[in-house]
A and B are shown apart, each in its own frame.
Chain A
Amino acid sequence: MTDSIKQFQGNGRLQDEMAALVARIAKGDREAFATLFNYYAPRLKSFMLRRSADPETAEELVQETMLAVWNRASSFSPAKGSVTTWIYTIARNLRIDRLRRQPAQTFYDIDDFDEPSAEPSTEERLIQNESEAQIASAIEALPKEQLDVISLSYVDDLSQSEIAERLDVPLGTVKSRMRLAYQKLRDALGGQS
């Protein structure tokens, strides 16, 4: 399974596979859950570790995230975004709540907006997959200094002023690199607004 997942990566079908797994998980399928777990848990651990969690906490947060994935699988809708993005938002929120030591639930989850949640048509799915592949390649294509700012923010969890300090550049420079990077990523998504 891992091999077939690798194979799908980059051509947009990975997320289709993942969405199918989540649909099965919603029906209580543990085999599907194990497959999803085997793909995401190691990446989530890496993500948590980079975000300065100790190995023990990282492992706990991986468990919590995957537990939330199980519990909320039925509310996942492919129309609203990819499985990876859904899991990313769950992981981000859990980590923040952990930092606060209290479930404050400030964040919206990706499935928590007042939006139509109809099942996407095949065409919409194709567009969605397309855009995921495009955003992935757009990230790869970013100039190094923009990619650095993006990963320091998303992966290393630094605020804009911390990034400025780390890179020894003014705060305004960090902001404008972020804006430039975002512009490119957004263009990759077809400039939808």
Chain B
Amino acid sequence: MRVHHHPDCATLMAYASGTLSEALTMVVACHVAWCPQCQRELRCHEETGGAIIDRMEAVPVKPGCLDAVLQRIDAECREARARDCAPELAGEAHRMGLPRPLCRLLGRSLDQLAWRRIAPGVAVYRINLARGARGRLMLMRIASGKALPRHGHSAGEMTMVLRGAYRDEVGRFAMGDIADLGHDIEHKPVTDSGADCICLIGSERPWRLRGLLRLVQPILRL
């Protein structure tokens, strides 16, 4: 896969430091799973985090801390130790054509989801995040040859293409590409492949359904 659009480096740094909201973290994690370039960049940001741990002033732990951990080691069954489901999940994610983090979250392929049609050619699926997680996550499926009306984005929104492609003023976004646009860009996306375009959309703020309805309203009138 050739990825052309990557998250802003400040976004990757926020991801590495753990300060990005869970919804955006998910979108970035999905991109990173498919993008070797960002895997390397991210590693570099995480090295910064590691170097910062080394710089931390040491605060003594309670006297019994090590013993407590050793006791928990004894208590846990041995098989828990080698627990590593990563390779299995990798295969499953590959079969489903999903990035690993999303595969873990959805547990099934994009075609098996209960899509909700909100306009001709447009369907959405809202992904539930853990209680206490920040932000909102949604999948949007736009039929081939469909254009969305021109619209802006609020700060803290990111879109990643999972399947198909779309084109807008910024360029062409295909599988794996991420649009980390910021709030000052308006665009008018048009699907740009023979197939449906499915995107993962993360938003930092609670989902503004009204905004979403406004987005599809012109389509409803078509």
- CA gap between A37 and B83 in the complex, in Å: 22
Chain A contacts of B100 at CB under 8 A?
108, 112
Closest residue of chain B to A133 (Cβ to Cβ) is: B51
Which residues of A, 110-137, contact B by the 8 Å Cβ criterion? 110, 112-115, 131-132, 135-136
Q: Are B53 and A101 in contact (CB under 8 A)?
A: no
Q: Are A108 and B37 in contact (CB under 8 A)?
A: no
Chain A contacts of B20 at CB under 8 A?
159
Q: Does A1 contact B (CB under 8 A)?
A: no
Q: Are A37 and B49 in contact (CB under 8 A)?
A: no
Q: Does A46 contact B (CB under 8 A)?
A: yes
How does the 8 Å CB contact mask read for A82-114 relative to B, with 1 for contact and 0 for none? 101111110111011001111011111010111
- CA gap between A150 and B72 in the complex, in Å: 35
- CA gap between A181 and B47 in the complex, in Å: 13
Count of chain A to chain B residue pairs whose CB atoms are closer than 8 Å in the complex: 199
How does the 8 Å CB contact mask read for A167-186 relative to B, with 1 for contact and 0 for none? 00000001100110010011
Interface locus among B113-121, B130-138, B146-154, B189-197:
B130-138
Q: Does B57 contact A (CB under 8 A)?
A: yes
Q: Are B10 and A178 in contact (CB under 8 A)?
A: yes
Chain B contacts of A87 at CB under 8 A?
50, 53
Contact among B13, B43, B53 with A47 in the assembled complex (CB-CB below 8 Å): B53
- CA gap between A41 and B70 in the complex, in Å: 13
State whether A151 and B52 are in contact (beta carbons under 8 Å apart), knowing that A85-B47, A135-B47, A182-B45 are contacts in the complex: yes
Chain B contacts of A33 at CB under 8 A?
70
Q: Does A155 contact B (CB under 8 A)?
A: yes
Q: Are B54 and A89 in contact (CB under 8 A)?
A: no
Q: Are B72 and A84 in contact (CB under 8 A)?
A: no
- CA gap between A44 and B61 in the complex, in Å: 9
Q: Does A59 contact B (CB under 8 A)?
A: yes
Q: Are A46 and B58 in contact (CB under 8 A)?
A: yes
Q: Are A136 and B51 in contact (CB under 8 A)?
A: yes
Number of residues from B at the complex interface, CB < 8 A: 64
How does the 8 Å CB contact mask read for A130-163 relative to B, with 1 for contact and 0 for none? 0110011001000000000011011101111000
State whether A37 and B69 are in contact (beta carbons under 8 Å apart), knowing that A114-B90, A139-B52, A159-B14 are contacts in the complex: yes
- CA gap between A9 and B101 in the complex, in Å: 35
Q: In the complex, which of the residues B20, B39, B130 has the most CB atoms of chain A within 10 Å of its own CB atom?
A: B130
Whole-angstrom distance between the Cβ of A28 and the nearest chain B Cβ: 9
Q: Are B53 and A158 in contact (CB under 8 A)?
A: no
Q: Are A159 and B65 in contact (CB under 8 A)?
A: no
Chain B contacts of A157 at CB under 8 A?
17-19
State whether A139 and B48 are in contact (beta carbons under 8 Å apart), knowing that A104-B130, A153-B13 are contacts in the complex: yes
Given A63-B69, A136-B55, 15 more contacts at CB 8 Å? A40-B53, A45-B58, A88-B49, A88-B50, A92-B18, A93-B18, A96-B22, A99-B132, A100-B131, A102-B131, A106-B25, A132-B50, A150-B48, A154-B17, A182-B13
- Chain B interfacial positions (CB closer than 8 Å to A): 8-10, 13-14, 17-22, 25-26, 29, 32-33, 37, 39-41, 43-62, 65-66, 68-70, 72-73, 76, 80-84, 86, 90, 100-101, 104-105, 129-133
Contact sample, A vs B, 19 pairs, CB 8 Å cutoff: A40-B53, A41-B65, A42-B58, A46-B57, A46-B59, A63-B65, A80-B43, A87-B50, A88-B49, A88-B50, A88-B53, A100-B130, A102-B130, A106-B26, A135-B47, A135-B48, A153-B19, A175-B10, A182-B44
